[in-house]
Amino acid sequence: MEIRIDDRKKIAFPRINHYDYAIRYIVEQGLEAKFVLLPPATKETTELGTKYSPDYACAPFKHSLGSLIEALEAGAEVLVETGGLCRLDYYGELQKEIIRELGYRCEFINLAEYMGGKKKEWLKLARQLNPKLNPARLAAGVYEGVKMAECMDEIEESYFKHAGFEAEGGSFKKVYRQFLLEMQIAENKNEIKAGYQKAKQAFAELPLKIPENPVRIGVVGEYFTIMDEHSNQYLQEKLVRLGASVYRFMNVTNCHLRAKASAFLPKIKEYAQYSMGPTTTWTIHAALDYAKRGFDGIIHVKSFGCTPEMDAIPVLQNISRDYHIPVLYLTYDMQDSDTGLDTRLEAFYDMLERKKKVLR
C-alpha cells in the first residue's frame, strides 16, 4: 500500500464572511497548497482577539487576531494578513509581534509589504508557499476564485433584496444556504457556475408577497464590519427578518472589480470636493444614491474608532437633512449581546414603516 503524505503547506487567512470560500479556492486550486477553512466565528474568537489586542485598536483588528490564533490552534503553518489604506496597513506587523509573543511558531506573511510591489515579488511569494507552483494554474485559480466572489456577491445581493418579501418563511434562506455550501466545496469553474445558476434560477422561481408599503433600507459603512456578518451581528439578516428589503453597495465586486472610487467623486462634489478617506467616497456615494432613489432609510455601520468612516458622518448628516431620509448610526466594538441592536433596529424599522403609511 502506498502511503500518501500531504506535504502541502497549511495556509490561513483571517475570516471575512463567506469570502473565505473564494480564498480557499484560490489557495487550493491556484496555489495548490492547503487552506485552513475555519468554522464560523464564535464568542470565543471575539474573546481571544480582545484579550491580546491593544485597548482601542479597531474591532476588525481584534476579530482578525482572534481568527489567526484559532487558525494556529487548528494547525495552520502559514498565516497571511493583508494590508490596506488605513490602519489595516499596520495590522500585520503588530499581529505578528503579538503571535510571536504568545509563543506560536509559524510563518507570517504580511501582504502590506508586497502591496504596490512588482509582479515578480508576488510570484516569488507564491513560490515560497508552494515550490512546485504552476504559474498558469495559479493565474486560472485566482481568476476563478475572483469569479466565485463575484457570483457570491450577486446571489447575496439578490437574497437580501428579496428575502424580506418571501411568501413562504425560510424559502430564500434554504436556497442561499445550499448555494454557500456548494461554493464551499467547489473544485472547478463548472461547479461554481452550476451552483450560481441553480441559485439564481431558484430565487427567480420563489413566490414573493410584496407588502403595500415595502420598506427599503440601504446599508453603508466600513469595509470589514459591513461585510462580515459575525462582526455586524447579522445586521442585514435581522432587517430581512423584520420584513425590509436591504441594499448594500459595499462588496468585493463593486469595490475592486468595477469603477475606481475616484470615479464617483464628481457625483458627490456637492458634499465632498476631495476623497475623504479609503472607503468614504463609496459610503457617501452609496448613501446619496439611496437618498436620491427614494429609499426609506439608511444604516451606517462602522467599528469603533474607524477614522475614515467617522469622517463620513457629518456628510451623511447633511444628506439626511437635504433629502429627509433617516439615518441610523451603528458603531460596533466587541459586544457579546445583541438585544440592544435588536431594539434599535425594530424601532428604526417601525418608524420607517409608520412614516411611509402616515406621511405618503
Partner 1 sequence: MGENHTIGIPRGLMAYREGVLWKNFFENLGYPCVFSPKSDRRILGQGTARAVDETCLPFKMYLGHVMELKGKCDVIFIPRMGGFTTREKMCTRYEALPDLVRNIFRDEHMEVLSVSYDWYDRTTEEKVYLELGMSLGSTRKEAKKAYNAARKKQETWRKAKEKGQQQLLETGKTKVLLSGHPYVIHDAYMGGEITGILEKMGAKVLYSDYVEQGSAMKRSYEFSRVMPWLINREIAGATMLMRKKVDGIVLVSAYPCGPDALVNDMLIRRINGIPVLSLTLDAQSGTAGVETRIESFIDIIKYQKAGGYGNQN
Q: How far is the CB of 108 from partner 1 (least distance, A)?
A: 12
Return residues touching partner 1 (CB under 8 A): 54-58, 61, 83, 85-87, 89-94, 97, 101, 110, 112-113, 116, 271-278, 280, 304-305, 307-308, 310-311, 313-315, 317-318, 331
Spatial CA neighbour of 323 closest among 349, 287, 355 = 287
**Cα–Cα distance, 170 to 89 (Å, whole number):** 40
Q: How far is the CB of 334 from partner 1 (least distance, A)?
A: 14
When the beta carbons of 85 and 194 are compared against partner 1, the nearer one is: 85
Spatial CA neighbour of 35 closest among 66, 73, 65, 78 = 78
Q: Amino acid identity, residue 129?
A: L
When the beta carbons of 23 and 312 are compared against partner 1, the nearer one is: 312
Q: How far is the CB of 92 from partner 1 (least distance, A)?
A: 7
When the beta carbons of 142 and 313 are compared against partner 1, the nearer one is: 313
Q: How far is the CB of 170 from partner 1 (least distance, A)?
A: 38
Residues pairing with 300 in the sheet: 220, 329
Which DSSP category does 116 fall into? T
CB-based contact 186:195 (threshold 8 Å) = yes
Q: Helices 135-162 & 119-129, crossing angle to 10 degrees?
A: 90
Q: How far is the CB of 54 from partner 1 (least distance, A)?
A: 4
**Cα–Cα distance, 253 to 125 (Å, whole number):** 25
SS3 per residue for 328-355: EEEEECCCCCCHHHHHHHHHHHHHHHHH
Q: How far is the CB of 274 from partner 1 (least distance, A)?
A: 5
When the beta carbons of 192 and 268 are compared against partner 1, the nearer one is: 268
Which DSSP category does 166 fall into? B
When the beta carbons of 174 and 269 are compared against partner 1, the nearer one is: 269
When the beta carbons of 34 and 302 are compared against partner 1, the nearer one is: 302
CB-based contact 109:81 (threshold 8 Å) = yes
